[in-house]
Structure 1
Amino acid sequence: MKAIILCAGYGTRMEPYTKRYQKVMIPIHGKAILDYLIQSIKKSGISDFIIVVGYKKEQIMNHLKDGRKFGISVEYITQEKLNGTGGALLICESYIKDSHFFLTWGDTLVTPGIYKEVVKLREIENEDFIMVANRVDDPYKGAAIYLEGNYCKQIIEKPARGTSDTNLNNAGIFILQEDIFDILKTQKPSKRGEIEVPETISNGIKNLNWKIKVVQMRKNDFYADFGDKKQFENLKIDKNWLKLF
């Protein structure tokens, strides 16, 4: 199974760092953000990576090269038009040869065991679609996840502040089936003018009866959004999280 990491965006919220660095290449405690992420995914048994690049792509490509020094193989795809996570995923279609694949945002990092748990869930329980949810006070910055049992009933991308009846947020970590590409091709842009993976999944649930198993992160699990400058600054000071990696 291949892992796709989306790393094309500019990272406006991380200025001024992103004026010099691609967001995933910002150094923290001696390593690029991307290094921690790849290291963690690799522990789940995945060694084949597709990196979707765009802004300052040469930084990523010069750093990883073919991936051999990291014990992985890497293919690069350039997202010329930054039209959302769904747009980024769609250009990967011809590179996916298996029925299922792993997908994550490049600026999200969680407890390494979560990646392993998700991959194992696919292998043991044969789930076609899996997503990870982290707990927040209000998911207005991400995507609100509503459950029915252990499965996703609905996803609302960027809900208005204070309107969600759930504290579950899309953590940006998925196992997806190749069927998603068919829906992506007809998916309408969101209010932000972008094609969104969460909205596409929500359409699959509604129109195709997809069953999306949700892995809920535990209270003490580590979750970092490296698109959040305040959180990044805090993680630069606090080194306790490094013990996980």
Structure 2
Amino acid sequence: MRPLTHTSAKQLVPIANKPVLYYGLEAIRDAGITSVGIVVGDTGREVREAVGDGSRFGLDVTYIQQEEPLGLAHCVLIARDFLGDEPFVMYLGDNFLVGGIAELVESFRTGGYDAQILLTRVAEPQFYGVAELGPSGEIVSLEEKPAHPRSDLAIVGVYSFSPAVHEAVRAIRPSARGELEITDAVHWLIERGHAVQSHLVTGYWRDTGRLQDMLECNRIVLERVEPDVRGTVDRMSEISGRVVVEPGAVVENSVLRGPIVVGADAKIVSSYVGPFTSIGPGCVLNNAEIEYSIVLDGSSIHGVSRIAHSLIGRNVEVSRADGVANTHELMVGDHSRIQVRA
């Protein structure tokens, strides 16, 4: 996700104009959990501004500062006072999961396990943490990005733990990369006879760490939006499919083919916005064409055709340069200025 993550928390990059982190918080709330601790690092101020006290989500949020990125097990270690002696869910903030975690939470509550880990089947398990299961679905081993995977079951990034994990995170030592690994803590539990169970994802899941994953998540969400035009659309414009135009947005002499979302106070003039595109608040498109893309707040695109499969950061300017028209694929960091041949 570089260069966006040099200037912004990747958990706040929007999918359908809503930060990835918000989907996770809503999933936690919908599972019946109301007390949430968010472990933050260098981007803590930005996360605090975006989430606040959690009341907008129906949550009570506490922030836990991690001075250095020392691993997921270290997050559990420093959250000890917040967690107390209660069972808890650990949810990685850059995960995008359709279907929520209510089934996982209920299975953990009734199963009497000390740990339960969410898994999903993947085509290329060598790129993920991989779990090997026993005959009853118990986890017998975990391996990070193995050259020869023992299964196609990848670790999703949502875990349920009993208080037994606190002893595990205190007992393990940093890995070769200098971090306290949550997989090592889980291994510690397994080796000492604790019940560690799997739970398979029934819905759609993506780790939003790559451009293609962000665009795919954007597509999945946009396929579910309901048409809602509250901005201003003139008579020269054509709208078809699932299109959301938020308040304050203006559309003139343009074609909008859904599913798409146009953010508040955006302006689209003499342009084409194609399927699976989200245009952030305050953006300006003038004589432009774009589809299957994400454009973040305050950016502008002038005189450029056939932008596709792109993620454009905040306050970016993309403008026309002389040359032959072509399709452009862009991943542009915040506060950039780009000139392309169009």
Q: TM-score range by the shorter chain?
A: 0.7 to 0.9
Aligned counterpart for 1:34 among listed residues 21, 30, 33: 21
TM-score (normalised: structure 1) = 0.85
Structure 2: state its 5+ residue gaps: 226-342
Identity of aligned residues (%): 25
Question: Which residue in the other structure is 2:198 paired with?
Answer: 214
- Cα distance between partner residues in 1 of 2:108 and 2:220: 34
Seen in structure 2, the aligned counterparts of structure 1 residues 190 and 138 have a Cα distance that, compared at 3 Å, is farther
Residue pair 1:157, 1:199 contacting (<8 A) in 2 also: no
User: Which of 183, 186, 196 in structure 1 is aligned with 2:171?
Assistant: 186
228-237 or 63-72: bigger deviation: 228-237
Relative to total residues, which structure has the larger strand share, 1 or 2?
Answer: 2
Higher relative contact order (CA 8 A, sep 6+): 1
> For 1:112, what is the secondary structure of its paired residue?
coil
- Structure 1 distance, partners of 2:24, 2:189, is 28
Partner of 1:136: 122
TM-score (norm 2): 0.62
CA distance in 2, matches of 1:70, 1:81: 28
The residue identity in structure 2 corresponding to 1:124 is: T
> 1: CA distance between counterparts of 2:33 and 2:224?
22
Letter in 2 for 1:120: E
Structure 2 counterpart of 1:151: 138
Offset of residue 241 of structure 1 = 5.8
Query: After the TM superposition, which residues 77-92 of structure 1 pair with which residues of structure 2 at under 5 Å, given as runs?
Result: 77-92=64-79
- Asked if structure 1 preserves the Cα contact closer than 8 Å seen for 2:114 and 2:165, the reply is no
The one-letter amino acid paired with 2:197 is K
Shift of 1:125: 2.8
Aligned to 1:50: 37
Distance (Å, rounded) in 2 between the aligned partners of 1:187 and 1:126: 24
The gaps in structure 1 that reach 5 residues or longer are 1-13
CA contact (8 A) 1:156 1:199 kept: no
1:230 maps to which of 212, 215, 220: 212
The reply to whether residue 197 of structure 1 matches residue 179 of structure 2 is no
Provide the secondary structure at the position in 2 that maps to 1:185: helix
Structure 1 residue 238 displacement after superposition: 5.0
Measure the CA separation in 2 of the matches of 1:124 and 1:238. 31
Structure number having the greater helix percentage: 1
Larger radius of gyration: 2
Mapped partners of 1:48, 1:242: distance in 2:
29
Hey, what's the Cα distance between the residues in 1 that align with 2:206 and 2:45?
25
